[in-house]
Structure 1
Amino acid sequence: MPLRFSSLNLGLVSARTVTAFGVLLALGMTAPSASARKFEVRKHPRIRAVAHAFVNATLPGLGLLPIEGDEVTTPSEGQKYELKFAHQGGEMIDVVYRVGDTYIPEALDKLNHFLRDSHNQEVTTFDPRTFDVLHTVMAKVGKAGGVISVLSAYRSQETNDALRASGTTNAAEHSQHIEAKAVDMRVEGVPAARLRDAALSLDAGGVGYYPKSQFVHVDTGPVRKWTYSPHASGHKRRRKRA
């Protein structure tokens, strides 16, 4: 599936803001006080949207692994793409997985091992586009270089079947976790709703929002979205499993 992205264009709002101040000056009016401006930022939805806008980050194109003879070359130039992951048990990894248009095989191997099935330790090969999506989400929420807390990554069929049988999770029969294309994540200091919105803005796969547990599911499968609130009250529960 080709990756697509959308970015928030702030130029129109900024231009209108500048024009508004120009009108004030032309009419001989004074600019509002700091407290008044603060109130207007909270009050005006368009200005409030600017105040909470995402960093203008876009998905990189799908990388290549240039081959010379029988060996994969490692690039020395280009933008470095870094990811930092942490498991709840304390295990952490910090790796540059891509440089320019080239994924680094050794780094991908390390990420594959880190994101292994936590129930039976089975390791598989992740779709590297998943790493690009996660890297871009972190940039969009202003946490480039921050740590992603991983709740679930790869799941073997055996593990996924066991989770479904337990009835304690939202595991889907054909989960993208089985395909090694999904990560359930939290980021310290970033509300799950903000992570969800950043991921949705990429239009690059599935995005699941779990408000009760405060985490977000991100994958590179078909574009779709859902909210899972098993004990929600006062509104209809929305559920679509991933």
Structure 2
Amino acid sequence: MKNTNLSRRHFIAAASGVAFAAGFGAPAVALAATTKASNNRRQLAMHHIHTGESATLVYFDNGHYLDDGIAEISHLLRDFRTNEVIAMDRAVLDQLYLLNSQLGFAKPMEIIGGYRSPKTNEKLRQEGRGVAKRSYHMKGQAIDVAFPGTSLAKVRQAALSMKAGGVGYYPKSGFIHLDSGPFRSWG
């Protein structure tokens, strides 16, 4: 059953989308243009490097988010260390979709990480992995991703050009971090 109540976070995200569409930023306009070109359908092709799982999943069609598609994506992006699943944030999925579209990437993206449980996050912090104490991964609002065969610098530049969410650049590890928090960058 769909929850029709808007949480504060979703209200803010929706309001931000209205502001972007009104000309205050490029992501919503670019997403609107991209979705018109693809018959208003958003699909992600992904391969998770830690689980070996691959899928091509539609999560938005005919003007609506698809609960089943988001659930399948959320399962693919689960904490692979604990097998815990959380519903992934629609905004970060849209960022990933838009980035993929901007790059014109036709192969499955490589997922390094999605959701991270608080227990996993703390363990990685204790190991000194440079993990944020309040990581957006723990909220289902972050994805670490690579686009094989595409320059990571090019991927970073495309992500920054969206001016949406966080963009972390990890050239030594070969991936970028995307999250649906405030716009910022590092690395």
**TM-score tier (shorter):** 0.7 to 0.9
The list of structure 1 runs, each at least 4 consecutive aligned residues, that deviate by more than 4 angstroms after superposition, is none
Q: Which residue number in structure 2 is paired with residue 220 of structure 1?
A: 180
Aligned residues of 1:60 and 1:132 also touching (Cα < 8 A): no
- 1:50 alignment counterpart: none
Indicate whether 1:156 and 2:117 are aligned: yes
CA distance in 1, matches of 2:102, 2:107: 12
Structure 1 counterpart of 2:124, which letter? L
Which residue pairs with 2:81 in the alignment?
Answer: 119
The match for 1:198 is: 158
TM-score by length of 2: 0.80
Unaligned runs of 5+ in 1: 8-56, 62-77, 228-242
- Greater percentage in helix: 2
Q: Which position in structure 2 is the counterpart of 1:80?
A: 41
Q: Structure 1 CA distance, aligned partners of 2:155 and 2:121?
A: 25
User: After the TM superposition, which residues 137-176 of structure 1 pair with which residues of structure 2 at under 5 Å, given as runs?
Assistant: 137-143=99-105, 145-167=106-128, 169-176=129-136
1:97 partner SS: strand
Between the aligned partners of 1:101 and 1:189, the Cα distance in structure 2 is 32
Aligned pair count?
Answer: 161
CA contact (8 A) 1:82 1:94 kept: yes
Query: Per-residue deviation at 1:100?
Result: 3.1
Is residue 50 of structure 2 the alignment partner of residue 91 of structure 1? no
- The CA deviation at 1:196 is 0.9
Cα-to-partner distance string for 1:149-180 (whole Å, 9 max, x where unaligned): 0101100100000000011x221001010110
Aligned to 2:68: 106
Quick one: which amino acid aligns to residue 58 of structure 1? A
Match of 1:132 in 2: 94
Return the offset for 1:98.
0.5
User: Residue 208 of structure 1 contacts residue 216 of structure 1 at CA under 8 Å; is this kept in 2?
Assistant: yes
Report the residue type matching 2:108 in the other structure. V
Higher alpha-carbon Rg: 1
**1:6: how far off?**
2.8
> Aligned equivalents of 2:32 and 2:177: distance in 1?
20
CA distance in 2, matches of 1:175, 1:205: 13
Question: Is contact 1:85–1:148 with CA below 8 Å preserved after alignment?
Answer: yes
